[in-house]
Structure 1
């Protein structure tokens, strides 16, 4: 029996060794026919990846790219763990607000030398997009995609309620008044997400920034969430649901996709989102008379700059070939094809796919979009804010209490060495 136990242990160790070896070989390999193989971790929402990869492989026939696509849920945690363990793929598609925390793990390769050697024109990238790709003057990812939010509205519902649908509400008081007029029966005037950390915090930050507020001070050392500009918009976020009741009763369970579906089914008059929602709405309900405007602004027109870039991990055994992929996929024409929003390249703004009248307000809004703080604690900060706003939405605390508690927790987090 003892021998059997020993043999079983050996089998388990052998199996584990095979699994671990498989993880380690994820980064890259030779295919046996002279080709270099790269592994690319991508987002599941990128529907044009296969076509773009095919074009790359036609240009570089000695390189094969194996794509693995993942959903948004749990994506950053999976990537971060792989980087910390130095056991990831060759290439990662990463959100702009992940670049700093990912780079601090030591798991990403700085791209400055490659950029200089290939004379990549960084001035052709939107300033905000390239600024968030840097840490200590080193570029850790090259952006291919950039975006910000706008206000998407149903012209028919607004017109029926006596609201001018030619341009959409210009400030938040106008939006509240319009939402109250549209709300009737099972149709609600406005929708905001009540779940999903990224969805909720991005929408809240849009509102705070458009009111002249911020999340952290200029040195990213203290929370500014208890300042009037931030508290006012956090209160509006909650009051639209609890006090004015112009949002769906299912808000606490709704993320941005749920809000889009409600809008598509003409049960919501207005909501905030990006260019990526226009095509799905048209496809699901071609009869929706849709309008798009910039996010309402009280004091200054500012919204959150979003986007994605591609980075090389230190686990890659073929960084030169990985760079060729990054340089290819971030070209103006290719990035416009690959991105489900806008290209991060200014020169791609004239691309035919961006000339739709519904798209133009979102393209114009990019000049007002601002990157969020690029600090390693940012993911934790978003979670803190999300948790406290949810308490206010569910009536377990006041907005003022929620913002005080969130600020206290954020300040404690930032004070840690």
Structure 2
């Protein structure tokens, strides 16, 4: 969320932009509207800072953390129902270490009663020197472009990642879901981003804004039908 990546949080909580068949937008579904309403309330209460790309500060070792809700912590929520926020490790399954983007994440449960306290901690963490974060616990937020910084490669290697997995970490983006599913993926992502910015930056009402965006996406999907 500190990196202007609200789609990550939407995906983490079951939200989607389009359906699996690529025929209909799901952006105006009640679950997505509820999540965006919550995010807007958090922003208005200053629980979420002004949206922006914090990757540059991380590359300069000024500190930045990817904050998501659910992606890395779902299995911990299931095992520890009293856990509502904290540092979440990437899950390990039968296939070994499976990464999408980060190795670790700061997770806040969508129903956490302690959101304000969690964000206080999160905001302090992003001010910490990037090198300290890496040395202390392997905190990692993907860098844009080539993964060439020695400390980044060192941290990833320390988790037993292969070279191929390291490159996946460096190139993965949260927009792949609509992008790889549909030929109009770039246009769909643009509509989605405009809706999110209107809600989070301009205070637009989530329901009508998402309905309008979904209608635009549906028109794009219809245009692409053979």
Q: TM-score under structure 1 normalisation?
A: 0.30
| Alpha-carbon spacing, 1:414–1:216, altered in 2? closer, same or farther (3 Å) | same
| Partner Cα separation in structure 2 for residue 236 and residue 413 of structure 1 | 28
Secondary structure, aligned partner of 1:394: helix
Q: Is the 8 A contact 1:263 1:269 kept in 2?
A: no
| Partner Cα separation in structure 2 for residue 409 and residue 415 of structure 1 | 10
| Alpha-carbon spacing, 1:410–1:285, altered in 2? closer, same or farther (3 Å) | closer
| Partner Cα separation in structure 2 for residue 231 and residue 383 of structure 1 | 18
- Report which of the two structures shows the higher radius of gyration computed on alpha carbons: 1
Which ranges in structure 1 are unaligned for 5 or more consecutive residues?
1-190, 194-199, 276-280, 295-306, 309-337, 342-350
Secondary structure, aligned partner of 2:27: coil
> In the alignment, what sits opposite 1:264?
62
| Alpha-carbon spacing, 1:357–1:239, altered in 2? closer, same or farther (3 Å) | farther
| Partner Cα separation in structure 2 for residue 390 and residue 403 of structure 1 | 11
Matches within 5 A, 1:66-215: 191-193=1-3, 200=4, 203-215=5-17
> In the alignment, what sits opposite 1:231?
33
Runs of 4+ in 1 over 3 A off after TM superposition: 258-263, 268-275, 284-294, 338-341, 351-355, 357-360
> In the alignment, what sits opposite 1:354?
156
| Partner Cα separation in structure 1 for residue 198 and residue 223 of structure 2 | 25
| Alpha-carbon spacing, 1:263–1:239, altered in 2? closer, same or farther (3 Å) | farther
| Alpha-carbon spacing, 1:216–1:292, altered in 2? closer, same or farther (3 Å) | farther
| Partner Cα separation in structure 2 for residue 396 and residue 291 of structure 1 | 37
Q: Is the 8 A contact 1:208 1:229 kept in 2?
A: no
CA-CA distance at 1:257 after TM superposition: 2.4
Secondary structure, aligned partner of 2:67: strand
| Partner Cα separation in structure 2 for residue 218 and residue 372 of structure 1 | 9
Q: Is the 8 A contact 1:291 1:358 kept in 2?
A: no
| Partner Cα separation in structure 1 for residue 194 and residue 176 of structure 2 | 22
> In the alignment, what sits opposite 1:247?
48
| Partner Cα separation in structure 1 for residue 188 and residue 211 of structure 2 | 14
| Partner Cα separation in structure 1 for residue 56 and residue 176 of structure 2 | 26
Secondary structure, aligned partner of 2:20: coil
Question: Is 1:376 matched with 2:183?
Answer: yes
Deviation sequence 1:63-102 (CA, Å, 0-9, x none):
xxxxxxxxxxxxxxxxxxxxxxxxxxxxxxxxxxxxxxxx
Secondary structure, aligned partner of 2:17: coil
| Partner Cα separation in structure 1 for residue 61 and residue 147 of structure 2 | 24
| Partner Cα separation in structure 2 for residue 234 and residue 209 of structure 1 | 12
Q: TM-score under structure 2 normalisation?
A: 0.50
CA-CA distance at 1:339 after TM superposition: 5.0
| Alpha-carbon spacing, 1:339–1:217, altered in 2? closer, same or farther (3 Å) | same
| Alpha-carbon spacing, 1:236–1:291, altered in 2? closer, same or farther (3 Å) | farther
| Alpha-carbon spacing, 1:247–1:353, altered in 2? closer, same or farther (3 Å) | closer
CA-CA distance at 1:285 after TM superposition: 4.8
> In the alignment, what sits opposite 1:49?
none
Equivalent pairs counted in the alignment come to: 154
Q: What CA RMSD, in Å, does the superposition of the two structures yield over aligned residues?
A: 4.5
Q: 2:217 aligns with which of 396, 403, 410?
A: 410
Q: Is the 8 A contact 1:223 1:407 kept in 2?
A: yes
